[in-house]
Structure 1
Amino acid sequence: MKVQVLNLDGSAAGDVELADDVFGLEPRADILHRVVTWQLENRRGTARGARERSDVARTGKKFGRQKGGGTARHGDRKAPIFIGGGKAHGPRVRDFSVSLNKKVRALGLKMALSSKAQNGLVVVDSLELTDAKTKALAGTLAKAGFGKKVLVVDGEQVNEGFARAARNIVGVNVLPAIGANVYDILKHDTLVLTRAAVEKLEARFNG
């Protein structure tokens, strides 16, 4: 698949050949859903449990007479109504992490890239900026017409000047190629890859 390469200002800078086994697959909603669910579930921390009645170390001795004391008929200081007693119906320890086959995870990323290749993929030559300022970069991106939610993926490392300039632009996120993931790709309207990012992503699957 041949795609035109642009400069950051939107002008043409040649062509690049994209591997069909990475960018030319037919996306499947079920695979993408499984990978996104796996990502979001693994972001959740383990739920912290509360100590319930059986977990509290207090006396179980009946501490008053059954009748005549002028109080209710309590038989245990671990009851939830007492200070220091167990929590009634408290949260339980739950682990939300799920496992997913590596091949499915890799297939999901390929399909996410393929879905953007069909609509929403831009390949740029590099992220080098002559003026690495937020205001200048915001104007450049607006002129290029990349949209409001843009994910920019660079090669081994993100260009430092570009990352610093893009840090305060709402809707623009920057990642190195190793950090490319299905959830972030699908969440943004436009995926911007550098030539180096294309090489890294293709090598990631073919290496």
Structure 2
Amino acid sequence: MKLDVVKLDGKKAGSIELDDAIFGLEPRADVLYRVVRWQQANRRAGTHDTQNRGEVSRSHSKSIKQKGTGGARHGARNAPIFRGGGVAHGPHPRSHAHSLNKKFRALGLKMALSAKAKSESLVILDTAALTAPKTKELKANFATLGLENALIIGGAVVDANFKLAARNIMNIDVLATAGLNVESILKRKTLVLTKDALEAVNARFAVATAEEAPAKKAPAKKAAKKEEGEA
């Protein structure tokens, strides 16, 4: 897959080849859903809390005598059936985080990138940098590029002037390469990657592939050693 590289002023700055192993996959809704759910669950504070009957400020003594009242038998007023009593089976502070396989998370990110490429919502930007933090100027550049709702990945370090100018523009998010994630990609209509960010994405998945390669060869080596021992 080949895409044109554009500048902030809308002019072309060449073209670039995209890796089909990263940008050419067929997106699956179930994979994307699971990765986004994992992200949101890890972000939850889990600080919700209710008081049980042992924690409410009520008397723990028997409220009425056992017999002779003509009503039901009752114990302490801190029981959940009474107003002001404790909450039965209510929520308490806990972590909502759950684990998700590293390879599965990488697959989800690839599919999110592929989804943007497939829908022609991927833009490759030459550089994301400004000489001065002028929001009006940047907004005009975005209008030229047709960016109204976009996530911009500006390389390992985002240009300070660009970040300051973009933070006042509605529906525009700016992140460094390390912050690239599935939820942020799917949240915005268009994904904008600088050339530096694209190189970092390619390098990120190249390292992951290199780490997986020795693990696949390990069983073959073990089998060879076993055959030598038997011989």
Give unpaired runs (5+ residues) of structure 1: none
2:26 counterpart SS class: coil
Q: What secondary structure sits across from 2:48 in the alignment?
A: coil
Aligned position for 1:169 = 169
Task: Indicate if the aligned counterparts of 2:123 and 2:191 stay in contact, CA closer than 8 A.
Answer: yes
1:115 aligns with 2:112: no
Matching residue of 1:105: 105
Deviation at 1:88, TM superposition (A): 5.2
State the secondary structure of the residue aligned to 1:78.
Answer: coil
User: Structure 1 residues 66, 111: CA separation in 2 closer, same or farther (over 3 Å shift)?
Assistant: closer
SS at match of 2:105: helix
Q: How many residues align?
A: 205
So what's the TM-score if we normalise by structure 1? 0.86
Residue matched to 2:214? none
Q: Percent identity?
A: 51
Deviations 1:51-72 (A, max 9, x none): 2225558764435544679x99
Contact 2:38 2:100 in 1 (8 A): yes
Partners of 2:130 and 2:159 within 8 A in 1: no
The residue number in structure 2 matching 1:194 is 194
* Cα distance between partner residues in 2 of 1:164 and 1:177: 17
Deviations 1:130-167 (A, max 9, x none): 44301111111112212x21100011111111000001
Deviation at 1:127, TM superposition (A): 1.0
| SS of match in other structure, 1:15 | strand
Higher helix fraction (1 or 2):
2
Q: Does 1:185 align with 2:185?
A: yes
Of 23-32 and 171-180, the range deviating more from structure 2: 23-32
TM-score in terms of structure 2 length: 0.78
2: CA distance, partners of 1:32 / 1:64:
58
Q: Distance in 2 between matches of 1:7 and 1:110?
A: 25
Equivalent residue letter for 2:130: L
Amino acid at match of 1:29: A
Residue identity matched to 1:27: P
1:9 Cα shift? 1.6
SS of equivalent residue, structure 2 residue 32: helix
**Structure-2 separation of matches of 1:27 and 1:89:** 40
CA distance in 1, matches of 2:188, 2:54: 49
Alpha-carbon spacing, 1:33–1:63, altered in 2? closer, same or farther (3 Å):
closer
Give the letter for the 2:205 counterpart.
Answer: F
Contiguous gaps of at least 5 residues in structure 2: 208-231
User: SS at 1:169's partner residue?
Assistant: coil
Residue identity in the other structure for 1:139: A
Q: Which has the higher contact order (CA 8 A, sep 6+)?
A: 1
